[in-house]
Amino acid sequence: MGNHFRKPGDEQVANGAPVPEAATASPVSVDETGDLFSQAAAPEQAAQPVADPFAYAPAPEQVPAVPEVPSVPSLDAVPSPDAAPAADQSLFSIPSPAEPAHADVFMTQAAPALDSSDESEQRQIDDVNEALTSPDFTSVFAPVQESRKQMAREAGVEPVILMEHLTKIYAAQPNKPALDDVNLEIYPGEFVFLVGHSGSGKTTLLSTMIRDVKPTSGRILVAGQDLMRIKNRKVPFLRRQIGAVFQDFRLLPNKTAYENVAFALECIGKPKAVIRSQVPEVLRLVGLADQMDSMPDQLSGGEQQRVAVARAMVNRPPLLICDEPTGNLDPAISLGIMKLLERINRTGTTVIVATHDREMVDSMHRRVIALEAGHIVRDQERGGYGNYGA
Ligand SMILES: Nc1ncnc2c1ncn2[C@@H]1O[C@H](COP(=O)(O)OP(=O)(O)OP(=O)(O)O)[C@@H](O)[C@H]1O
């Protein structure tokens, strides 16, 4: 296994020892939870024999009790949140490079959005801004350097995602590939927007990264794992290294914000003490310190999405995949969510966001990959949204 989640200058972390096969057995058996991108990919679902910590679809009563089991090291040498306290800058073994020039692009651009007369919306904006400017947030989500792609190449860092001639043809549409000969490299620490018309293949592309959809042909490596060959029983362990955020939040409706986030850790057998310390911390970092005990239906859409972001990040995955994370939110609230993703990216987390949010893409000047009918038609280092309708 290479250093696919390592960034240039990162130190080797301690818990990279190979996991014995027996130790990789899932702590729970919840095959109905193995549904990450269920809407787009339902026909493609292969039954997963073990639990998926990022699958939050089932109603709580369907979820069996999670036994206490020892923490399981991940496939690669990913820093464990247990090994490093939440406030430790070495969380991702990131050196302390200078703050990038654009670091507070959202803070300076937030002003127009603050014109909203809606009090709840204003409170949400204030909550996020307060969370983002807190010294604690900065110490946990430390800044990282720009130009990761170039640095990674120079340093010999492997791409976290590599696709070669990747093609996906759904059985229902044999003459219309959803992905058609896609070639792509994404390096550790990049922030990538995926844009394109509806039906261009964005969700399918993201789904292949978590092996929710198996490509028809080609090659796909995620963190060095060959997803054309990976065994089904290993897929949940791959997914532990990938946080996922969706347009429809996918919170468990009968659990509080705290319980929704805690559940992600319970599913992978984290000790209760770790859960008790990390869940409040991550909820505080997304500006929800005062709403931990709220049920999803007591939260606004933006607040629910912040719970979803907290849940995706609580295990500190080095890769975060977001499928239209602001699709159900109004512009001012979307800005807060995107601020969070941007700040999380600056900790070194690779972030990939499929979106129709033109304004957001144009304001962030990040790498933009555009899909059209399953082809990559544009891949720009600092791109804009382009001519794609919603
Ligand atoms: N499970 C499926 N079975 C059959 N066809 C599918 C399936 N999922 C997606 N498709 C088809 O694959 C193509 C790409 O769909 P996909 O959902 O990846 O596009 P998208 O860019 O994410 O669209 P949107 O922006 O609307 O979410 C479309 O033609 C779609 O109809």
Ligand 1 site residues (CB inside 6 A) read 40-44, 170, 172-173, 176, 178, 196, 198-204
pLDDT for res 332: 84
Point out the least confidently predicted range of 74-83, 88-97, 238-247.
88-97
Nearest atom, ligand 1, residue 172 CA: 4
- By three-state DSSP, how is residue 175 classified? coil
Which residue's CA is the closest to the ligand 1 atom numbered 2?
Answer: 41
State the pLDDT at residue 114: 44
Q: In angstroms, what is the span from residue 38 Cα to ligand 1's centroid?
A: 12
pLDDT computed for residue 102 by the predictor? 35
pLDDT of residue 130: 73
Range with the poorest average pLDDT among 117-126, 334-343, 375-384: 117-126
Pocket test for ligand 1, best of 170, 213, 377 (most atoms within 8 A of CB): 170
Residue 179 lies in a domain: yes
List beta partners, residue 367: 192
Q: Is the pLDDT of residue 16 over 60?
A: no
Given pLDDT bands bounded at 50, 70 and 90, which one contains residue 118? low
Range name among 133-142, 291-300, 357-366 with the lowest pLDDT average: 133-142
Better pLDDT: 61 or 269: 269
Residue nearest (by alpha carbon) to ligand 1 atom 9: 40
Whole-model pTM? 0.69
Give distance in angstroms: CA of 201 to centre of ligand 1.
6
Per-residue model confidence (pLDDT) at position 110: 34
Q: What is the pLDDT of residue 387?
A: 73
- ipTM of the shown complex: 0.99
Task: Report the separation in Å between the CA atom of 300 and the middle of ligand 1, taken as the mean of its atom positions.
Answer: 28
pLDDT at 90 over 50: no
Ligand 1 centroid–CA 39 distance in Å is 10
The confidence score (pLDDT) of residue 349 equals: 94
Per-residue confidence (pLDDT) for residue 318, from 0 to 100: 92
- pLDDT over 90 for what percent of the chain? 50
pLDDT of residue 4: 57
Nearest alpha carbon, ligand 1 atom 3: 170
pLDDT category of residue 147 using cuts at 50, 70 and 90: low
CATH number of the domain enclosing 203:
3.40.50.300
For residues 16 and 191, the model is more confident at: 191
The number of beta carbons lying within 10 Å of the beta carbon of residue 46 is: 12
Q: What is the pLDDT of residue 21?
A: 33
More confident residue, 50 or 174: 174
The residue to mutate among 173, 209, 248, having the most atoms of ligand 1 within 8 angstroms of its beta carbon, is 173
Q: Which residue bears the tokens 């893409």?
A: 361
Q: What is the position in ligand 1's atom list of the atom closest to the CA of 374?
A: 14
Q: Which stretch of 125-139, 181-195, 298-312 has the lowest confidence by average pLDDT?
A: 125-139
CA of 287 to the centre of ligand 1 (A): 34
What would the mean pLDDT of 226-252 be, rounded to a whole number?
A: 93
Q: What pLDDT score was predicted for residue 274?
A: 94
Q: Are strands 191-196 and 350-354 parallel, antiparallel or unpaired?
A: parallel
User: Which of these, 36, 355, 375, lies nearest to 192 by C-alpha position?
Assistant: 355
Query: Is residue 45 assigned to a domain?
Result: yes
Q: What is the pLDDT of residue 154?
A: 80
Give the number of the atom of ligand 1 that is nearest the alpha carbon of residue 203. Answer: 22
Question: Edge-to-edge, what's the strand order for the sheet holding 319-323?
Answer: 242-246, 319-323, 350-354, 191-196, 367-372, 375-380
Q: Which amino acid is at 10?
A: D
Give the tokens for residue 34: 């193995």
Give the model's pLDDT for residue 75. 30
Question: Does the residue 357 lie in any domain?
Answer: yes
Residue 46 within any structural domain of the chain = yes
Range of the domain at 163: 26-63+73-118+139-253+317-380
User: Domain for residue 220, yes or no?
Assistant: yes
Identify the pLDDT of residue 128. 74
Exposure pattern of 188-222 as b/e (b: 16+ CB <10 Å)? Answer: bbbbbbbbbbeebbbbbbbbbbbbbbebeebebbb
Whether residue 262 lies inside any domain: the answer is no
The answer to whether residue 145 is domain-embedded is: yes
In a domain, 345, yes or no: yes
pLDDT tens-digit map of 318-353: 999 999 999 988 888 888 889 889 999 998 999 999
Please, what is the average pLDDT of the chain? 73
Nearest C-alpha to atom 12 of ligand 1 is from which residue? Answer: 178
Ligand 1 centroid distance, CA of 331 (Å): 25
Asked if residue 91 has pLDDT above 60, the reply is no
Our count of domains for the chain comes to 1
Ligand 1 atom closest to the Cα of residue 168 is 12
Pairwise pLDDT comparison (381 vs 30), residue with the higher score: 381
Mean pLDDT for 40-69 is 36
246-288 pLDDT, tens digit per residue, is 999 999 999 999 999 999 999 999 999 999 999 999 999 899 9
